[in-house]
Chain A
């Protein structure tokens, strides 16, 4: 058997590729190698490092955007109506969160939660209002904020009603009942908050009226002392009759019927029908006639101080 194997070894040595065959295969391998070149293999960490070092600016911008976006979103969660970030809260944060509620009942619960959130915001507005509103501008802003929150609350209530109806149509009466209960609860809370806000608003109005009266008294005292400058005597750059009329019309906010007496001495005849508080300053050297007619319960206080020698009929 050894002999057999020796012969086999000898025979095997004679089995080999011819030179031309070897060259042909080599040629084909060269082509294959060119088509499939070696690429530098890098680990994930190396690739990340390379990407960061070669693209620093886009990464910095992305990181900043992420930081600011996330921070803004978090900060917006605590915002109140009238705040700069409040639209982020109601137009972005809450709708995005709502995308994750697919079922009608889950959506309804989310809407109920939003309605409660609006109630909470209104209550916080009330607290903030108590801190004191020193100017009309701030008062106006508070009113706008309140209106905004109430409008959103109404939207949530409408959606809740629709979802409750849908649940009933689907035969999910228990879920619909739960939603109704939630709805009633948020409406009750809302009514309480609203009542408190209105009461607070009335108190502020009274305070303001009292402040006005005090101002009036002060003015009268000044007049009596001969030191005051009457409201008609305060300097306004109004020099002719037409301008005076326009000014009065605007300030009186009236559905006016403006009648000119037609007198040759250029009288100004104004009829005002309004319940608004009116204060106007006019300076003129012409004859001025002002008629104020009120038919409601509001007391018409008219203080006109004249420091001119020309004719004035009141």
Chain B
């Protein structure tokens, strides 16, 4: 018979899946640019989180941050295994089915969006990370700092520098 605490853990986990599954999927998708792989990584992220909960038999203070951190680690592992080029060209990605935006939204929007994705991919790791969280997930500096376990100030600095570099690339 399961105890109340284990039932609480299960409830918390189900709630986290309900609230964050899409965001984690998006997080993975904008790094691997493969829907199936992103789905696998999303599932693995939640399984790892469950394992952690079982092992510690306790809650996690910030489960969203934990999920993002786990997802990021899994993406990195996946890249190492697949030897996927981090800076894959947009053409190659589109051949693999990457469509960040629907084509019927207008040729101009489509081009500018893909340009932005390609430009962010060219950034260095830390800037790429914060800009994706900022503009793909729509997180504020506080949420990003929670996810990456950095200070808010560091996050703001990285966003600022990342945007400067992105500007150079796009313009």
Name A's B-contacting residues (CB within 8 A): 1, 3-5, 7-17, 21-22, 25-26, 28-29, 32-33, 36-41
Contact = CB atoms under 8 A, between A and B. Distances in A.
A199 to B, nearest CB: 79
B124 interface: no
30 contacts: A1-B166, A1-B170, A3-B112, A4-B170, A7-B113, A8-B135, A8-B136, A9-B136, A9-B138, A11-B100, A11-B113, A12-B30, A12-B135, A14-B101, A15-B26, A16-B22, A16-B26, A17-B21, A17-B22, A25-B42, A29-B17, A33-B13, A36-B51, A38-B5, A38-B9, A38-B10, A38-B53, A38-B57, A40-B5, A40-B6
Given A3-B112, A14-B102, 10 more contacts: A1-B166, A4-B112, A5-B116, A5-B135, A7-B113, A10-B101, A22-B21, A29-B46, A38-B5, A40-B57
B26 A37 contact: no
B26 A7 contact: no
A223 to B, nearest CB: 97
A29 B135 contact: no
Chain B contact patch, size range = 35 or more
B32 to A, nearest CB: 12
B39 A25 contact: yes
A7 B112 contact: yes
A1 to B, nearest CB: 5
A32 B21 contact: no
Contacts, number: 103
Interface of A is mostly: helix
Contacts of A8: 100, 113, 116-117, 120, 135-136
Given A12-B135, A16-B25, A39-B57, A25 B113 contact: no
Contacts of B57: 38-41
A32 B2 CA distance: 16
Contacts of A10: 101, 109, 113
Interface of B: 2-3, 5-6, 9-10, 13, 17, 21-22, 25-26, 29-30, 39, 42-43, 46-47, 50-51, 53-54, 56-58, 100-102, 109, 112-113, 115-117, 119-120, 135-138, 163, 166-167, 170-171
Contacts of B171: 1
Contacts of A5: 116, 135
Contact of A40 (B3, B30, B120): B3
A7 B116 contact: yes
A189 B17 CA distance: 87
Given A12-B135, A12-B136, A14-B101, A29 B50 contact: yes
A36 B50 contact: yes
B30 A17 contact: no
Contact of A39 (B54, B112, B170): B54
Nearest to B170: A1
Of B13, B57, B112, B120, chain A has the most CB atoms within 10 Å of the CB of B112
A228 B149 CA distance: 114
Contacts of A12: 26, 30, 100, 135-138
B167 A41 contact: no
Given A1-B166, A7-B101, A40-B6, A15 B113 contact: no
A4 B131 CA distance: 12
Contacts of B25: 15-17
A9 B135 contact: yes
A100 B136 CA distance: 70
A29 B43 contact: yes
